[in-house]
């Protein structure tokens, strides 16, 4: 029987939970929370009140909570840690800009000007491609790429969970470590992004394209989305957008060469979008990639050791079985 066709106990358990019966059971467990959230949304909408951002975030988290209910005990703990860890990070990041530490502007401008051969890359790219008040297809494409940061990491976690549980767990640990190391960095060294440097006069000829395009369509919708996202205006260093995209790329290298190519294409596209839209400097991206690489190496070091032990034990076991077979002959 081919090795690839052998299904382990955990895999059979996961498959049973993903059957129609298992999903129906999870749906029944989720019925109460779903009805509660939908009811609250209806009440706020009918009353004309603004839906609180935390309620909107809870509605977005319901699919992940449902997945956690379907998962086995070990994966349920992993999903719970992932969900709670990310929610706590989003809250802490939103309030982390209230420290008395002065916001840094100059060092990233100097570094990027050196990397750009005398010109800050954001300034050069916007001067070449951006026209204020007249957004192009390229503008919308880069903004869409930027927006994918809010859902692609979670979809990728789900894809890993359904296909490679060991890699899924290492990705979750790596993602949470990346988020919190980055959070500590931006608390200790609050750094202004290019768009804020442009608005304060520290860097001329830079626009925040997201604000110009989205607020141009609806200022209220833009302000509400900003509140829901829980963003921090001075958390440019390191770029966690780039770090998580690089982390996804690193994880895809454990899957297949085609997946790795797509993962790195996504990471590079994310970097270009972040620099062009004025959200990050190039040096922010480099710090983000370095952070992701360092975390990934640390998290996967025990996995590589365990894998080597398994391979060696498997080899020695095969040798012992061969010896026993030879003796019985």
pLDDT by position in tens, the chain (length 329): 444 444 445 445 444 444 555 545 555 555 555 555 555 555 555 555 555 555 555 555 666 666 655 566 677 788 888 888 887 887 787 676 677 889 999 999 999 999 999 999 999 999 999 988 788 899 889 988 988 888 889 889 888 888 888 899 999 999 999 999 999 998 899 999 999 998 888 888 898 888 777 655 554 555 555 555 556 778 889 999 999 999 999 999 999 899 999 999 999 999 999 999 999 999 999 999 999 999 999 999 865 555 544 444 444 444 444 444 444 44
> 219 and 119 share a domain?
yes
Distance CA 183, CA 194 (A): 19
| Domain match, 59 and 89 both | no
| C-alpha span between 102 and 234 (Å, rounded) | 10
Q: Which of 232, 238, 96, 248 is nearest to 174 (CA)?
A: 248
Does 76 map to a domain?
Answer: no
166 and 91 share one domain: yes
**Co-location of 118 and 200 in the same domain:** yes
What is this structure's pTM? 0.74
Query: Has residue 125 been placed in a domain?
Result: yes
How far is C-alpha 283 from the geometric centre of its chain's CA atoms?
Answer: 19
Exposure b/e, 170-182, CB count within 10 A at least 16 = b: bbbbbbbbbbbbb
The residue out of 26, 43, 70 marking a domain boundary is: 70
Q: Is residue 283 part of a domain?
A: yes
In a domain, 285, yes or no: yes
Query: What is the number of domains present in the chain?
Result: 2
Residues 121 and 210 in one domain: yes
Any bridge partners for residue 213, and if so which?
Answer: none
**Same-domain check for residues 65 and 86:** no
Q: State the pLDDT at residue 315.
A: 42
Long-range Cβ pairs for the range 132-140 (8 Å, 24+): 132/207, 132/212, 133/212, 133/216, 135/209, 135/212, 135/213, 135/216, 139/209, 139/213, 140/213
User: Which DSSP string do the residues of 137-200 spell out, in sequence order?
Assistant: HHHHHHHHHHHGGGTHHHHHHHHHHHH-HHHHHHHHHHHHHHHHHHHHHHHHS-B--HHHHHHH
Structure-token match 């009918």, residue found:
46
Q: Among 55, 20, 12, 54, which residue's Cα sits nearest to residue 34?
A: 55
Q: What is the pLDDT of residue 204?
A: 87
Q: Are 154 and 58 found together in one domain?
A: no
Q: Which residues pair with 104 in a beta bridge?
A: 191
Same domain, 106 and 144: yes
Domain range for 57 is 1-70
Q: Residue 247 in contact with residue 235, Cβ under 8 Å?
A: no
Shared domain for 205 and 311, answered yes or no, is yes
Among 48, 70, 92, which residue terminates a domain? 70
- Residues 125 and 105 reside in one and the same domain: yes
How many of the other CB atoms lie within 10 Å of CB of 273? 26
């Amino acid at each position: 029987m081919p090795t690839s066709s052998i299904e382990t106990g955990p895999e059979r358990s996961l498959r049973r939970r993903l059957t129609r019966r298992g999903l129906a059971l999870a749906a029944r467990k989720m019925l109460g929370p779903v009805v509660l959230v939908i009811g609250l949304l209806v009440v706020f909408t009918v009353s004309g009140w603004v839906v609180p951002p935390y309620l909107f975030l809870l509605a977005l988290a319901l699919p992940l909570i449902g997945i956690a209910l379907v998962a086995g005990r070990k994966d349920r703990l992993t999903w719970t840690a992932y969900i709670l860890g990310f929610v706590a990070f989003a809250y802490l990041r939103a309030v982390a800009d209230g420290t008395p530490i002065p916001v840094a502007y100059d060092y990233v401008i100097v570094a990027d000007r050196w990397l750009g051969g005398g010109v800050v890359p954001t300034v050069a790219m916007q001067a070449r491609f951006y026209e204020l008040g007249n957004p192009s297809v390229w503008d919308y494409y880069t903004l869409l790429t930027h927006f994918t940061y809010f859902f692609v990491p979670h979809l990728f976690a789900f894809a890993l969970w359904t296909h490679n549980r060991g890699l899924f767990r290492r990705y979750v640990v790596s993602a949470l470590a990346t988020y919190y190391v980055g959070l500590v960095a931006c608390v200790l060294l609050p750094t202004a992004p290019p768009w804020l440097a442009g608005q304060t006069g520290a860097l001329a000829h830079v626009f925040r394209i997201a604000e110009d395009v989205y607020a141009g369509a609806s200022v209220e919708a833009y302000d509400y989305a900003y509140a829901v996202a829980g963003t921090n205006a001075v958390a440019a260093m390191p770029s966690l957008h780039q770090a998580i995209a690089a982390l996804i790329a690193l994880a895809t290298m454990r899957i297949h060469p085609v997946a790795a190519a797509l993962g790195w294409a996504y990471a590079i596209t994310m970097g270009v979008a972040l620099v062009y839209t004025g959200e990050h400097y190039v040096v922010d991206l480099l710090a983000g990639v370095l952070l992701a690489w360092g975390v990934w190496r640390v998290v996967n070091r025990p996995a590589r050791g365990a894998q080597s032990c398994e391979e060696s034990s498997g080899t020695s076991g095969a040798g012992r079985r061969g010896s026993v077979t030879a003796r019985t002959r």
